[in-house]
Amino acid sequence: MRSRLPDQVAEALLAPLVDQHCHGVRRDDLVRSAFETLITESGAPAPPGTTHFDSPLGLAVRRWCAPLLDLEPHAPPAVYLARRAELGAEEANRRLLRAAGVVAFLMDGGGDGDLLSPAETGRLGGAAADEVVRLERVEEEVAAEGLVSLDYLDRLQREVEERASRCVGLSSVVAYRYGLDFEAGRPSRGAVLAAAGRRLADPKRPLGDPVLLRHLLWLAADVARERALPIQFPCGDGGARPSAPHRGDPARMAGFIRALLPLSVPVILLDCYPYHRQAARLAAAFPHVYAGEARPAALTESLELAPFHKLLFGSGGAGVAETIYLGALNHRRALGRLLAERLAEDEWSAADAVRVAQMIGSGNARRIYRL
């Protein structure tokens, strides 16, 4: 692929990326069953006689990650995992994260339990690392404090404000907690108080109440506006065992997106696959909407219409460092293939190709997250 590209385009593809969407990866050594679970979306063992290595991601690990651990490409799973254990998780993570060629990790989560924190990820990956604050996580910590409704709401506001002062962006998983077809407007004070009362009667559950989710989003919107922070929305059909995946289509959130327009808060639609074309349309239609797609097909199809200043690289990596490295590699390979085609068809100039690669790879993220 690379051979078909002019030097300056190949260089632009290899330039350091801003990974504006990744999660913590495991810092401990992993036995095979644990590793397999982390490279699947089902969170379940593979059926008898099968292995989760027999998947697009599993083959990519063997093909592209094995050489980073000094193995031949396509090493068998057992060989790969034995070598990974031999090197130790820290060394494996260091090699994989450095090979990603990332200049800054914007991390949603990490630091809990066996997951590398942003600081550790940055140190191992030779990069800066900044935090994206997951709104529902903040709420769940506040809900667990055993407050009464009014104190809970005050505390929630102060805590979101406080966290916002130390991060580069906010994020919400309302897509998976309720669905993106939530009502657009600010909920009334009365409705929020009633919902808070119900919430505090059972504060251990994950937050799923649509009134409180909306309250949290509007609170976040005000804070984001004041601090010029973007809000990320992981969309799509929602990871492990979703219950209403079609409600993760970002098109269903268009009413809320419109309502945010006057605030000029950037809305980042993340990993919307298989609704990535809908996300690209929203990014084209609304000046404050951006799209970030980790899957190669989604990137390619988004480039059918989205403005180049509206797309952002993000590996979407989570669980094992392989996913971050492969996210970056897949981005470069997919974009490289697309640019090679555009150049071969004489549609874009090499200078255009360079600019597109730079904008999506790091330039847009630097602008939006003010890095």
244 interacts with its own copies by CB under 8 A:
yes
- In the window 311-350, what residues touch its own copies (CB under 8 A)? 345-349
Q: How far apart are CA 193 and CA 143, in angstroms?
A: 13
3-state helix, strand and coil shares in percent for the chain, rounded to the nearest 5: 55, 10, 35
254 interacts with its own copies by CB under 8 A:
yes
Binding mask 52-91 for its own copies (x = CB under 8 A): x-xxxxxxx--x---------xx-----------------
295 interacts with its own copies by CB under 8 A:
yes
Instruction: Detail the DSSP E strand segments found in 229-346.
Output: 231-234, 267-270, 289-292, 311-312
Please select the residue that binds its own copies; options are 120, 209, 237, 271, rule is CB under 8 A.
Answer: 237
- Residue 130 sits at the vertex; the CA angle it makes with 129 and 132, to the nearest 5 degrees, is 140
Please select the residue that binds its own copies; options are 3, 49, 113, 190, rule is CB under 8 A.
Answer: 49
Exposure of 292 in the CB half-sphere (CA atoms within 13 A): 30
Instruction: Detail the DSSP E strand segments found in the chain.
Output: 17-22, 102-108, 128-134, 169-171, 231-234, 267-270, 289-292, 311-312
Minimum CB separation of residue 238 from its own copies in Å reads 8
200 interacts with its own copies by CB under 8 A:
no
| Nearer to its own copies (CB atom), residue 139 or residue 293 | 293
Minimum CB separation of residue 308 from its own copies in Å reads 4
- Residue 325 sits at the vertex; the CA angle it makes with 322 and 329, to the nearest 5 degrees, is 130
Q: Per-residue DSSP letters for 128-150?
A: EEEEEEEHHHHHHHHHTT---HH
239 interacts with its own copies by CB under 8 A:
yes
| Nearer to its own copies (CB atom), residue 167 or residue 180 | 180
33 interacts with its own copies by CB under 8 A:
no
359 interacts with its own copies by CB under 8 A:
yes
Please select the residue that binds its own copies; options are 8, 50, 206, 370, rule is CB under 8 A.
Answer: 50
Minimum CB separation of residue 305 from its own copies in Å reads 6
The type of residue at 222 is D
41 interacts with its own copies by CB under 8 A:
yes
